[in-house]
Structure 1
C-alpha cells in the first residue's frame, strides 16, 4: 500500500541558521569553548538550539552549559493532527508544554486515518522525530507499521544526551521480525548484543505494539504485550564494577532512514537488506518510502516520586562517564535565545545552515 496524494497542502518548509564556532568539534576529551559552550548531538559546538535536545553535558564547556531536560510526564500520544509537533526542531525553545514532538529532519505526513507518516526520499535522507520530554526509566510503547523495502530501516528508540540508547529496529524487507539492541554511552561493543525476534505477522501491513520497559534494574522488550527479551543491569557489570547499562534521561525517537546507500559501510548495507532500489514501483508511485505511527504511550517510572514542582532533569556536579548523576529540579527548560536568530559565536564564528524538517498536510488515501 502507498500514500496517494490528493489536494496536497504544503503548510511549511522551514530553514534556520545557528551560530556555530568555526570547525569546532567536541567530545569528552575536547570540550567546547565558552564562546560556543554547547556540544550538539552531532559533536559540534554552538549556542541556541545546540544547548537543547541532544546537547552532551560531558562534552560541553561545563556540565551546566546544556539546558535542563524537560521531565517525564505520563502520556498517550495520538496523531489525528500535528498541532503538537513542531516541524522544525531548530525553532524549539525547550518549552515542552507547547509541543510533544519535534521534527529533526525529513518530512512528516498525516493520513486521513489519523496516522503519522515518516517519509524517506532520495533527497531528504530520511525522517526523524524526537519527544520534547525525556524519560528517566519508564515504559514506552509505539504502535506502528514498518517499511518493507530493502535498505530502508524503521526505528523506535530511546536516546540520551550522552548516547545511552535502547532500540527497536526493523531493517529492510524483513517484515516478520524485529530487532532489539542497547548501547551504553555510544560505545560499540566488539560483539553484538542485539537480538532478533520473529514469527510476526507482516509488520508493514499490520500494526504491532512494540514496548521498551526500561527500569532501573532491568530492561524488557515486548511485542503485542508479550515479553521477547529481558536484560538485567547486573548482566552488564564488568570486572571494573561499572554497569554499562542505559541509565540517563532519554528522548523517544521514531525514524525511517536509508541504511542501504553507497555511503554506508558494507556491513550496514548487508544488515539492511542491500542497496535501496529507488526505481521500486512503490517509490515511483508515492514519491517516497514510509513508515506509519498510530500512537506512542509513555508511563514514567519516576512520576510519583518526583516533587510537585519538578520541571527538569539535570546532571550533578560530580557527573563522569562512569558515574552519571541525575537530579530532578525545578529549573526552567526554556532557552529564550533558541527562538531568535543567533549572533556570530565569537571571533571566527560562521553561519551554518541547518536542515529543517518540513510538514505537508495531506488529503491522503491509503491503497
Structure 2
C-alpha cells in the first residue's frame, strides 16, 4: 500500500478533532518546512510539538535540529506473548523508558483467549501498537489472524523514524493472500509491492509471517516459506545517487485501520476493497472489526560493527542524510522527564510526567486535545471512562455512559465481543498512525 495513499487518513483526524475547542493546531512539518524552536519535534503525524512528539516516530530531518528528537532505544531480542496488556502504554502515558513498556500506541487493544485483539469500532480510525525498542536489521515474526470486510486493513510492518518501511498488509476482501511492500524514506514507488499467496483463510486460520532484514536483502516468509526476496543491489537510484533500500532502525508496528473510509482518496478506497461498511457483520455481532495477534518474536541482527549493532543504549542520527552510515549506537538516554521535554532538554519538568492530565499541552501529545467520543473506542475526560463508541455515535445497544464490549451480544458471552475492554480510551488518543502513518 503506497504510503502516500495512507497519508490521506491524516485529514480524517483533523476533521474529527476540528469541532473541539480544546484543540490548538500544532505547526506542520516536512522536509522543506522544519519545526520551529518552540515546538521542535516533527512527529510521525507531520506535526510539530514537544514531549511525545519527540519519541517514537519523531523525524530528525524535519525537526528543528537533528537532536530535537529523543534517542531511540536499541534492539533487544524478545518474544512478546501478546497475552496481556500489562506492558502496553497509551501514547499519553509513555515517556521513553523501554523498561516500563514493550508496546506504545493508540486505540482499543483488548485481550481474548490469550491473544491481543486490535479493534476498530464504528466510525473510529482503529488501533495501532508499536514496540518501544527499535530493530536495526534482524528478524521479526508474528502469528496473525487478520480482520475481514471491505475497506478494512490489517498491517504488520517495520517503520523507521525517517520513514524507511517494510510491510505485510492484508485487505479484508482478499483472505487468501498478503501484500508486501517496502519504502526508502517514505518516497512513494508503486513498483515495490508484491503479493504472496496464503494456504488458507487469513481470518479463520493462524499463519506466521516473518520479515528477515539484513543490510543486503529483505525476505518475506509465510509459514516458514520464503515468499519474496528483495536485494539491496536491485535498489540503486541513479537520480538520487543512493540505495533506495530500508536501512535505518525501525519499530515493529501492528495495526488495524480503515482504508475504505469514505473521506479517503478513491485510489486508497479501491485498493482497500471498497468503502467500509460500518454496519457490517462483525460490527453487528461483536461491535467492532478486529484482527488477532499472537506471539511476536524479535531477533536482533547483532552486528559486531555498524551497521546493525545494538551494543549500547540508543540510536541517533549524526547527519540529515539519515542513511545507515549516519546512525550512531550510543549511550545517550531515551527517557523524557515530562511531556514538556525535548531531545535537547530531556530533563525539563513541567509537571506532566505522570498521567498526562489536562494540564499537558496539546503540543505535547501527537494530535492533542480532549475530544469526547472522537477517539478510537470513545473517550470522555482525562482518565475517565470511555463513551459507547466513536465518531458519530456508539454501537447499537451500547450505553453511551459506559463502554462494555459485551453489550448487544445475545447471552453476553462467547466470541471476541464478550471481552471486557481492558483499557480506557485516553483523552489524548486521537488519530492513530495506521499502516504507514504509522504510518504517515
TM bin, normalised by shorter chain, reads 0.7 to 0.9
State the match for 2:268 in structure 1: 268
Shift of 1:198: 1.3
Answer yes or no: is 1:25 the counterpart of 2:31. Answer: no
Could you give the per-residue CA deviations for residues 98-117 of structure 1, whole angstroms, max 9, x where no partner exists? 100012x2201101x20100
3-state secondary structure, aligned to 1:50: helix
Shift of 1:352: 3.6
Greater Cα shift, 139-148 or 319-328: 319-328
Residue ranges of structure 2 left out of the alignment (5+ in a row) = 1-21, 340-351, 378-385, 387-402, 407-412, 417-440
Shift of 1:292: 0.2
**TM-aligned CA distance change 1:160 to 1:322, over 3 Å:** closer
State the match for 1:78 in structure 2: 81
Structure 2: distance between partners of 1:268 and 1:173: 14
State the match for 2:65 in structure 1: 62
Structure 1: distance between partners of 2:162 and 2:334: 18
Task: Tell me which of 314, 332, 338 is aligned to 1:312.
Answer: 314
State the match for 2:107 in structure 1: 106
Shift of 1:343: 6.5
Tell me if structure 1 keeps the 8 A contact 2:217–2:230. Answer: yes
**TM-aligned CA distance change 1:20 to 1:284, over 3 Å:** closer
Structure 1: distance between partners of 2:324 and 2:214: 17
State the match for 1:164 in structure 2: 164
State the match for 1:201 in structure 2: 200
Structure 1: distance between partners of 2:335 and 2:230: 35
Tell me if structure 2 keeps the 8 A contact 1:20–1:344. Answer: no
State the match for 1:333 in structure 2: 334
State the match for 1:51 in structure 2: 54
Aligned length: 340
Answer yes or no: is 1:38 the counterpart of 2:41. Answer: yes
Shift of 1:362: 7.2
3-state secondary structure, aligned to 2:104: strand
Structure 2: distance between partners of 1:22 and 1:366: 41
**TM-aligned CA distance change 1:134 to 1:199, over 3 Å:** closer
**TM-aligned CA distance change 1:214 to 1:34, over 3 Å:** same
| CA RMSD, 1 decimal | 2.6
**TM-aligned CA distance change 1:345 to 1:356, over 3 Å:** closer
Structure 2: distance between partners of 1:361 and 1:92: 25
**TM-aligned CA distance change 1:299 to 1:24, over 3 Å:** same
State the match for 1:146 in structure 2: 146
Residue ranges of structure 1 left out of the alignment (5+ in a row) = 1-18
Shift of 1:162: 1.0
State the match for 1:13 in structure 2: none
Bigger relative CO (Cα 8 Å, ≥ 6 apart): 1
**TM-aligned CA distance change 1:331 to 1:206, over 3 Å:** same
State the match for 2:258 in structure 1: 258
**TM-aligned CA distance change 1:297 to 1:303, over 3 Å:** farther
Tell me if structure 1 keeps the 8 A contact 2:217–2:231. Answer: yes
3-state secondary structure, aligned to 1:129: strand
Could you give the per-residue CA deviations for residues 73-130 of structure 1, whole angstroms, max 9, x where no partner exists? 00000122211111x1122110001100012x2201101x201000012232111111
